[in-house]
Amino acid sequence: MGGSQTAALCTRVGKARLFWEAAVALRLGPIFSNGGTALQEFQNKGVLITGAGRGIGKRLALGFAAAGARVGLLARSKAELDLTKLEIEHNGGTAVHLRADVRDVESLRSAVDRMRAHCGDIHILICAAAMQGPIGSFLEAPNRQWVETIETNLVGVSNTCSVVLPEMVRVRRGKVIVLSGGGGTKPRPGFSAYAASKAGLIRFVETLSEELRDHNVQINCMSPGGTYTHMTDEILRAGDKAGWKEHEDAMRIRITGGVAAERQIGLAQFLASERSNHVSGKLIHVEDDWKRLENSNVHPEIFTLRRLLKV
C-alpha cells in the first residue's frame, strides 16, 4: 500500500472511529435520564477506571456514570480525559479526571488519593489501560516496544492493584475487574507482546482471587469482545504485518462497530455488583451465558485457564 493510500485509510478509519464513539454516547444518553435497574445498585459508589479516556474504558466509564456512580477517570491523555469528563457531566453524571501512568506507582498513588478526596471510598476498580504493542513477527519487534507493552498491560495492573487493594482489604469490601483480550487464551501470531501480557493477566487474577478470598474482595477478568477502538485502526494501518485474518476481522469491526457497548457494560456491572459475590478468579467473555451465574454456583474449573489432558 502506497503512502497516499495509507494516509487516506488512516483518515477514513479515524473518522469512522469517532462516529462509533459518538454513537455510543448517544445510545447511553437516555440511561443517564432514567437510570435503569442499575441506578440503585451503583448510586454514589466510587468507581476507578484506568484507560478511561478512550475505547472500552471510556464506554464503561459512561455506563457506570449513567448508573449513578462517582467515576474516577484515569489515563495519560489530558485531552481524552477532559472530553470523557465533559460527556459524563453534560449528561448529569459525576466524574473526576486523574492524569497518571499505570507504569508509575507514585503517580498512581497520587491519583488514588485525589480520587478518594473528591469521591470518597473506591468500591470498584476497573483496569482497562492497555496498549497493543508491536505488530508483526516477534523476531522483528523492537525490544523496547515489546517490554513497554508488558509494563503497561501486566505490570500496570499489578501497580494499580497494589495501590487500591489495601484499603479494600481493610474495609473487607471491593470489586476488581481486569480487561483481558485477544491472545489471552490462544496463540495470536503477530501480537506476541499483547498476547503474552493478557495471558499473564488471567493467571494473575486467578492467583490474586485466592489471596483475597477471605477478605470479601472479588477479582475477575472480563473479555469484552471485538470493539472498534484505536487498536482496530492500528491493525488496519499495519496491513500485511497483522496477517490477513486480523486485517479482515478489523475491517468487519470497523464497519459494524463490534460488540455493543450495552452488552459490555451489562457484564461489567454484574461483576461489580453484589450479585456476583460468589464469582471470583474467573475469565468471563461477553458472549458467555454469564447471566446464569447470578443464581448458580460456579464450578472451580469453569471459566479458567487450564491444560487439556484429552481432546
Give, in order, the Cα–Cα distances in Å from 197 to each of 188, 203, 213, 244, 271: 12, 10, 24, 23, 22
CB-CB contact of 112 with 50 (8 Å): no
pLDDT at 85: 97
pLDDT at 13: 45
pLDDT at 303: 87
pLDDT at 232: 95
Tell me which DSSP letter residue 159 carries: H
Q: Order of strands, edge to edge, in the sheet holding 174-179?
A: 94-99, 70-75, 46-50, 124-127, 174-179, 217-223, 283-285
Of 42, 194, 228, 290, catalytic = 194
Instruction: Classify 177 as helix, strand or coil.
Output: strand
Cell 487493594 -> residue: 165
The DSSP secondary structure of 216-277, one letter per residue, reads TEEEEEEE--SB-SHHHHHHHHHGGGG-HHHHHHHHHHHHH-BS-HHHHHHHHHHHTSGGGT
pTM of the predicted structure, to 2 decimals: 0.89
Verify whether residue 194 is a known catalytic residue.
yes
Q: How far apart are CA 135 and CA 266, in angstroms?
A: 31
pLDDT at 261: 96
Q: 3-295: what fold?
A: Rossmann fold (3.40.50)
pLDDT at 297: 82
Beta strand 46-50 with 124-127: parallel, antiparallel or unpaired?
parallel
Residue 106 neighbours by CB under 8 Å, 6+ apart = none
CA 164-170-172 angle, 5° bins: 95
Q: Where are the domains of the chain?
A: 3-295
Query: Which residue positions in the chain have pLDDT lower than 50?
Result: 1-3, 6-10, 13, 33-35
